[in-house]
Amino acid sequence: MRRGDPLLNALVTANVLLVPDLLEVATEPTRRALLRLLAEGEKTVTDLSGHFPVSRSAISQHLLLLSEVGLVTARKDGRNRYYRLDGAGMVRLREQFEAFWTTELDLLVADAGRVGQQPTQGNS
């Protein structure tokens, strides 16, 4: 495959589209609640699922997604998987939230400045 090859471009596009967004994953309400519970310490899926009106399988899927974006890690001990927060992933999440809000506030300030510079009607 060469650069510019349609198949290569399709593969690159497909791989990019499959990467979940860290902020989007972390802000879903069930996953936010899972992160809060895991902040207390390591827990199994069974421990976690007792806090939700959904199946253990559904909680496992949420944990898998959190793991894919690097927010949680798991270790296996016998038949159980123990989940805990990933410190480096949580640092990345904080950085992304801070960058998001910094950008949004900068845009708000810029918008407010433009609105303040517009002449008001009737005062010309």
pLDDT in tens, 12-66: 444 445 557 888 899 899 999 999 999 999 999 999 999 999 999 999 999 999 9
Q: Which residues of 30-48 are buried (b: 16+ CB within 10 A; e: fewer)?
A: ebeebbebbeeeebebebb
Residue 115 has pLDDT above 90, yes or no: no
Tell me: the pLDDT tens digits for 73-86? 999 999 999 999 99
Domain spans of the chain? 21-117
The pLDDT value recorded for residue 101 is 79
Residue 81's beta-bridge partner residues? 76
Residue 11 has pLDDT above 70, yes or no: no
The pLDDT value recorded for residue 40 is 97
Helix axes 29-38, 56-68, angle to 10 degrees: 80
The pLDDT value recorded for residue 8 is 47
The pLDDT value recorded for residue 123 is 57
Top pLDDT among 93 and 3 is at: 93
Q: How far apart are CA 120 and CA 13, in angstroms?
A: 48
Q: How far apart are CA 27 and CA 48, in angstroms?
A: 18
Q: How far apart are CA 86 and CA 67, in angstroms?
A: 9
Closest CA relative to residue 26, chosen from 60, 68, 54: 68
Q: How far apart are CA 13 and CA 74, in angstroms?
A: 29
Fold of 21-117: Arc Repressor Mutant, subunit A (1.10.10)
